[in-house]
Chain A
Amino acid sequence: MTLKALFAASATAALLLALPASAAELTIGFSQIGSESGWRAAETSVSKQEAAKRKVNLKIADAQQKQENQIKAIRSFIAQNVDAIFLAPVVSTGWDSVLKEAKEAKIPVVLLDRDIDPSGKELYLTAVTSDSVHEGEVAGDWLAKTVGAKACNVVELQGTVGASVAANRKKGFDTAIAKHANLKVVRSQTGDFTRAKGKEVMESFIKAEGGGKSICAVYAHNDDMMVGAIQAMKEAGLKPGKEILTVSIDAVPDIFKAMAAGEANATVELTPNMAGPALDAIAAFKAKGTVPPKWIQTDSKLYTAADDPQKVYDSKKGLGY
């Protein structure tokens, strides 16, 4: 084969390879952390749905909770010359060099769900995250509004000690109820974000508070702990949702089941739809060059029994929570 023929062949091949990209459809690489939790699985399935809705070709790389795998995935996305990269960072540091490579290749990066170390602000286009302090505030405001002027002793099930989400959700709730002197957190313990610990801690709260008669409301940093706490209350002969108000965060399907049964009152959603706003930002950036704000805050929606919990349960249960 002559040199000329070789050139011609490779040029044709390059043209063929370039064809799909030249179509209007966007190709986006998404480096997902892995499947560490039900919420994460739901985020992955919602991302696929949102991409399909917008006719975007979304390539998802599962990093199995390892940063090295995420870095490899990003490098391979750069090599494939994708239109944009979504990254749900497993840790907050160590992204500088790989994000610089993406910047040099002129591929915009959008962070999903978690932020990275502040030194890298210029290395990504925008971050789509929820404000966990705000989630706590929404929960606290709901409780304050529901209770009214009546005195109310609240018990709190905290997340894992040292987790920033737990600290933020506590801070937000405390800020919200600080304005209301009738609301007081009388007991606060960690339930490690799990059902089993949530149940065990609630059992002890009930005993410590005179059989639960003096507890007016339970606030849990996540729904799983609340599901455990609801069982503990029922076993103690109390009526959660009626005698004792409940408010928790995340909006996983099982809390809607409890809500439909009248055993839970409210939950604040940590939306699994981080990809939707990110896809819209990228589309606007690509089409008109609109630079989005550095932080896109997702909606912390409050759900109560008035929001047809059975229907929400049915819509959420297939997402992989």
Chain B
Amino acid sequence: MTALLPRRGLAQILALIVILAVDRIVSPQFFDLRLQDGRLFGSLIDVLNRGTPVALLSLGMVLVIATRGIDLSVGAVMAISGAIAASLADTHSLAVVLAAALGAGLICGLWNGFLVAVLGMQPIVATLILMVAGRGIAQLITEGRIVTFSSPDLVWLGNGAVLGVPMPVAIALGMLILTGAVVRGSALGLLIEATGGNARASELAGVGTRAMILAVYVWCGICAALAGVIAAADIMGADANNAGLWLELDAILAVVIGGTSLFGGRFSLVLAVLGALIIQTMNTGILLSGYPPEFNLLVKAVVVMTVLLLQSPKFSGIAGIAARLRRSKA
């Protein structure tokens, strides 16, 4: 019986392989790769490149969810940082642009963290405030227009490449390694898990739970701001109405697909990013398939449900019993 329970990560890897195989069927040239202007080019690269914003969001989100919180404002933070980056791009150096955009993310994270950790608001309500107000702030910055820029430095962040790997993918990989090194290379990850598992017990055991919660929201804000800069750099403009719209839900989904419970506690950074890739592999497959767009959301829902069922111990238990019954009949 226990042998039937998926090992940690196995369900996600299996799901990714199955979806990749389906993509290969709907689009025979799915795995083709070539170099185009010094940059790898192909559907697989599209998956990585388009998956970057959600992967970055999920890196912050998974830590927030591990503390039993949630951050609904990440999409709006993306819009704010993108708007700031686009407004400054043509008049300031890349360093200033990045500092301003990421600084805005940091402030947004501090605000969320303050409401949750210090004022004790419920995370879903606390972050809802910035989710609504944030998009308005972004629209104020852009004055409701799509602000375009031509600064080659910022464009390079979205469309450039290092050793053939698109910049956004390289940045996301770097952030994964950095976050992993910080939370797993020290006791920080354990303390975050303890805070999410049982905040009161952790507090009594001497864990600075307030500082933990504040820190994860700040990191989440910074990750979201980086995603916003990349999204703006990609289209060479900031679209405050649409940048990051509903992406908070994709980020939460990526974390959940990655097997992290919304009730906090144990978390996995790598699996959350894998979750983001699963979502994007599916999205790209849908676009390549040529099905009418009316089916997009339906296909997505079925795939997500299947992946989550694969992870459910109860479901695999039932499936195991059914399989055994069938075998004993034969």
Contacts and interface: CB of A to CB of B under 8 A. Distances in A.
B36 interface: yes
Interface of B: 27, 29-30, 36-37, 39, 41-43, 46, 50, 139, 143-146, 148, 159, 231, 234-237, 239, 241-243, 284, 287-288, 290, 292-294, 296
B293 A195 contact: no
Interface in A199-233: 199-201, 203-205, 207-208, 210, 224, 227-228, 231
Contacts of A207: 27, 29-30, 42-43, 46, 288
Given A41-B145, A196-B239, A237 B37 contact: yes
Contacts of A224: 146, 239
Given A203-B46, A236-B36, A236-B41, A195 B239 contact: yes
A321 interface: yes
B235 A189 contact: no
A196 B231 CA distance: 8
Nearest to B148: A254
A320 B144 CA distance: 8
A104 interface: no
Interface residues of A, number: 34
Contacts of B288: 204, 207-208
A204 B46 contact: yes
A161 interface: yes
A161 B295 CA distance: 10
A228 B235 CA distance: 6
A96 to B, nearest CB: 31
B46 A231 contact: no
Contact of A235 (B36, B42, B143, B146): B36
Contacts of A196: 231, 234-235, 239, 242-243
A218 to B, nearest CB: 15
A168 interface: no
A38 B145 contact: yes
A34 B241 CA distance: 13
Nearest to A159: B293
A319 to B, nearest CB: 10
Nearest to B145: A38
A194 interface: yes
Nearest to A158: B293
Contacts of A231: 235-236
